[in-house]
Structure 1
Amino acid sequence: MADAHLTPGAGEEAAAGSREVLRGWATGGGPMAVRAQVVLLAEEGVRDAEIARRLGISRQTVGTWRHRWQSAGLPGLEQRPRTGRPATVDEAEVVTRALLAPGGSGAGRAIARELGLSHATVAAIRRRWRLTADAGPGPLVPTVPPLPGPDVWVLGLYADARRAVLLAGTRHSATPTAAPAATVIGEDVLAGLARALEARRPPGKPGVSLAAAGPAAAEPPGTPAAPPPAPDGLDGFLAGAAEHHPGIALHAITLWDDGGRHRAAATGGPSVHLLPARSSWRGFLRAMVALDSTSHPESSRRVYLDLIAALQQAQGPVGWLRESVAGHLRAPRGTAPEGSAAGTSPHPPSSSGVNQIDLGSFNECVVIESVRLSGTITRGEIAHRTGLTQQSVSRIARSLLDRGILVEDAQRRATSGKPRTPVRLCGTAAHALGLHIDPEVLTAVVIDLDGAIVCTCTRPVSADIDPGDFVAQVVALGREALEKARGAVREDGFLGIGVAVPGPVDIASGTVLDPPLMSAWNDLPLLYLLQDHFPCPVIIEKDSLAAAAGERWIGRDRRARDFAYLYLGTGVGSGLYLNGDLYRGVSANAGEFGQLCAIALGRVDADGRPEVLPECNPPVSVPDFAARRGLPAAGGSGGSTAAYRAVGRAAAAGDPAAAGALREVAGAIGRGALGLVDLLDIDLIVLGGPFFTDDAAPFYLEEIGRVVNDFPLARRLRRVEVERSVLSAEAAAVGAASTIFHATFTPRLRGRDRP
Structure 2
Amino acid sequence: MPKAPQDDGPVGSLPPEHRAVLHRWAEEGGPLATRARVVLLAADGLRDAEISRRLGVSRQTVGTWRQRWTSAGIDGLGHRPRTGRPATVDEAEVVTRTLLAPGGSGASRAVARELGLSHATVAGIRRRWRLSPDEAPAPSVPTRPPLPSAEVWVMGLYVDARRAVLLAGTRQGAPRQPAAGTVLGTDVLAGLDRAVEAALTAAMARGADGDTSPAYGGLAEYLAGAARSHPDLGLHAITLWEMANEPESPQQAVHDKLVTPHQIPARSTWRTFLRAMIALDSTSHPESSRRVYLDLAAELERYAGARPDTPCAAVRWLRENVAGHPGTGHHADSTAGNQPWSGVNQIDLGSFNECVVIETVRLSGTITRGEIAHRTGLTQQSVSRIARSLLDRGILIEDAQRRATSGKPRTPVRLCGTAAHALGIHIDPEVLTAVVIDLDGAIVRTRTRPVTADIDPAEFVERVAALGRETLAEARGSVREDGFLGIGVAVPGPVDIASGTVLGPPLMSAWGDLPLLYLLQEHFPCLVLMEKDSTAAAAGERWIGRDRRARDFAYLYLGTGVGTGLYLNGDLYRGISANAGEFGQLCAIALGRVAEDGRPEILPECNPPVSVPELAVRGGMRPVPAAPGGTPGSTAAYLAVGEAAAAGDPAAAAAVREVARAVGRGALGMVDLLDIDLIVLGGPFFTEDVADFYLDEIARTVNAFPTARRLRRVVVEPSVLSAEAAAVGAASTIFHATFTPRLRGRESRARHLPAG
* TMscore range, shorter length: 0.7 to 0.9
Tell me the SS of whatever aligns to 2:424.
Answer: strand
The residue that corresponds to 2:130 in the other structure is: 130
Paired residues of 1:743 and 1:754 also in contact (CA < 8 A): no
CA distance in 1, matches of 2:335, 2:584: 44
Gaps of 5+ in 2: 17-38, 206-211, 304-311, 750-756
Report the alpha carbon displacement of residue 514 of structure 1 after superposing the two structures with TM.
1.1
1:316 to 303, 313, 317: 313
Tell me the SS of whatever aligns to 1:195.
Answer: helix
For residues 31-51 of structure 1, the C-alpha deviation after alignment (integer angstroms, 9 at most, x for no partner) is 632455xx6xxxxxxxxxxxx
Paired residues of 2:161 and 2:203 also in contact (CA < 8 A): no
CA distance in 2, matches of 1:90, 1:599: 51
CA distance in 1, matches of 2:580, 2:236: 38
2:633 to 633, 636, 639: 639
Moved more, 308-317 or 345-354: 345-354
CA distance in 1, matches of 2:13, 2:547: 44
Superposition TM-score, scaled by structure 1 size = 0.85
The residue that corresponds to 1:277 in the other structure is: 266
CA distance in 2, matches of 1:304, 1:552: 35
The residue that corresponds to 1:20 in the other structure is: 46
CA distance in 2, matches of 1:133, 1:720: 56
Moved more, 397-406 or 527-536: 527-536
1:172 equivalenced with 2:172 (yes/no): yes
RMSD of aligned Cα (Å): 3.3
1:241 to 226, 232, 235: 226
The residue that corresponds to 2:480 in the other structure is: 490
1:431 equivalenced with 2:428 (yes/no): no
Gaps of 5+ in 1: 40-63, 207-226, 337-343
1:460 equivalenced with 2:457 (yes/no): no
The residue that corresponds to 1:50 in the other structure is: none
After superposition, the Cα gap between the structure-2 partners of 1:70 and 1:16, relative to the gap in structure 1 and judged at 3 Å, is: closer
Tell me the SS of whatever aligns to 1:2.
Answer: coil
After superposition, the Cα gap between the structure-2 partners of 1:473 and 1:82, relative to the gap in structure 1 and judged at 3 Å, is: closer
CA distance in 1, matches of 2:523, 2:517: 10
* Matched ranges for 1:3-152 at <5 A: 6-7=11-12, 17-20=43-46, 22-28=48-54, 32-34=58-60, 36=62, 71=71, 81-84=81-84, 89-103=89-103, 107-152=107-152
1:251 to 226, 236, 250: 236
Code of the residue aligned with 1:606 in structure 2: it is E
Paired residues of 2:170 and 2:235 also in contact (CA < 8 A): yes
Superposition TM-score, scaled by structure 2 size = 0.85
Code of the residue aligned with 1:101 in structure 2: it is A
CA distance in 1, matches of 2:79, 2:515: 48
CA distance in 2, matches of 1:107, 1:24: 42
1:706 to 693, 697, 700: 700
How many residues are treated as equivalent by the alignment? 701
The residue that corresponds to 1:518 in the other structure is: 508
Report the alpha carbon displacement of residue 23 of structure 1 after superposing the two structures with TM.
4.2
2:659 to 665, 673, 679: 665
Tell me the SS of whatever aligns to 1:19.
Answer: coil
After superposition, the Cα gap between the structure-2 partners of 1:552 and 1:180, relative to the gap in structure 1 and judged at 3 Å, is: farther
Tell me the SS of whatever aligns to 2:232.
Answer: coil
Report the alpha carbon displacement of residue 643 of structure 1 after superposing the two structures with TM.
2.4
Paired residues of 2:94 and 2:122 also in contact (CA < 8 A): yes
Report the alpha carbon displacement of residue 678 of structure 1 after superposing the two structures with TM.
1.2
1:738 equivalenced with 2:694 (yes/no): no
Tell me the SS of whatever aligns to 1:492.
Answer: coil
Report the alpha carbon displacement of residue 366 of structure 1 after superposing the two structures with TM.
1.5
Code of the residue aligned with 2:514 in structure 1: it is L
Tell me the SS of whatever aligns to 1:154.
Answer: strand
Report the alpha carbon displacement of residue 752 of structure 1 after superposing the two structures with TM.
4.3
CA distance in 2, matches of 1:5, 1:735: 51
Moved more, 126-135 or 541-550: 126-135
CA distance in 2, matches of 1:352, 1:335: 10
Code of the residue aligned with 2:51 in structure 1: it is W
CA distance in 1, matches of 2:331, 2:461: 23
CA distance in 2, matches of 1:610, 1:665: 17
The residue that corresponds to 2:250 in the other structure is: 263
For residues 597-632 of structure 1, the C-alpha deviation after alignment (integer angstroms, 9 at most, x for no partner) is 111111011111111101101111112222222233
CA distance in 1, matches of 2:188, 2:451: 38
The residue that corresponds to 1:2 in the other structure is: 6
Report the alpha carbon displacement of residue 387 of structure 1 after superposing the two structures with TM.
2.2
Tell me the SS of whatever aligns to 1:200.
Answer: helix
Report the alpha carbon displacement of residue 202 of structure 1 after superposing the two structures with TM.
4.7
Code of the residue aligned with 1:318 in structure 2: it is V
1:477 equivalenced with 2:467 (yes/no): yes
CA distance in 1, matches of 2:138, 2:642: 62
Paired residues of 2:616 and 2:652 also in contact (CA < 8 A): yes
* Matched ranges for 1:208-227 at <5 A: none
1:565 equivalenced with 2:555 (yes/no): yes
Paired residues of 2:323 and 2:515 also in contact (CA < 8 A): no
Report the alpha carbon displacement of residue 185 of structure 1 after superposing the two structures with TM.
1.0
Report the alpha carbon displacement of residue 704 of structure 1 after superposing the two structures with TM.
0.7
For residues 373-402 of structure 1, the C-alpha deviation after alignment (integer angstroms, 9 at most, x for no partner) is 111112222222222222222222111111
Report the alpha carbon displacement of residue 286 of structure 1 after superposing the two structures with TM.
0.9
CA distance in 1, matches of 2:607, 2:597: 22
Paired residues of 1:161 and 1:202 also in contact (CA < 8 A): no
CA distance in 2, matches of 1:133, 1:638: 58
After superposition, the Cα gap between the structure-2 partners of 1:194 and 1:76, relative to the gap in structure 1 and judged at 3 Å, is: closer
For residues 331-370 of structure 1, the C-alpha deviation after alignment (integer angstroms, 9 at most, x for no partner) is 999999xxxxxxx569995743643321112221121111
After superposition, the Cα gap between the structure-2 partners of 1:303 and 1:348, relative to the gap in structure 1 and judged at 3 Å, is: farther
1:695 equivalenced with 2:694 (yes/no): no
Paired residues of 2:103 and 2:181 also in contact (CA < 8 A): no
Tell me the SS of whatever aligns to 1:723.
Answer: strand
Tell me the SS of whatever aligns to 1:658.
Answer: helix
Code of the residue aligned with 1:565 in structure 2: it is Y
CA distance in 2, matches of 1:695, 1:279: 67
Report the alpha carbon displacement of residue 462 of structure 1 after superposing the two structures with TM.
2.0
Paired residues of 2:681 and 2:719 also in contact (CA < 8 A): yes
The residue that corresponds to 1:620 in the other structure is: 610
Tell me the SS of whatever aligns to 1:20.
Answer: coil
Percent sequence identity over aligned pairs? 73
Paired residues of 1:96 and 1:286 also in contact (CA < 8 A): yes
Report the alpha carbon displacement of residue 190 of structure 1 after superposing the two structures with TM.
1.4
For residues 462-510 of structure 1, the C-alpha deviation after alignment (integer angstroms, 9 at most, x for no partner) is 2222223323332232223222222211121111111111111222232
Tell me the SS of whatever aligns to 1:517.
Answer: coil
Paired residues of 2:359 and 2:740 also in contact (CA < 8 A): yes
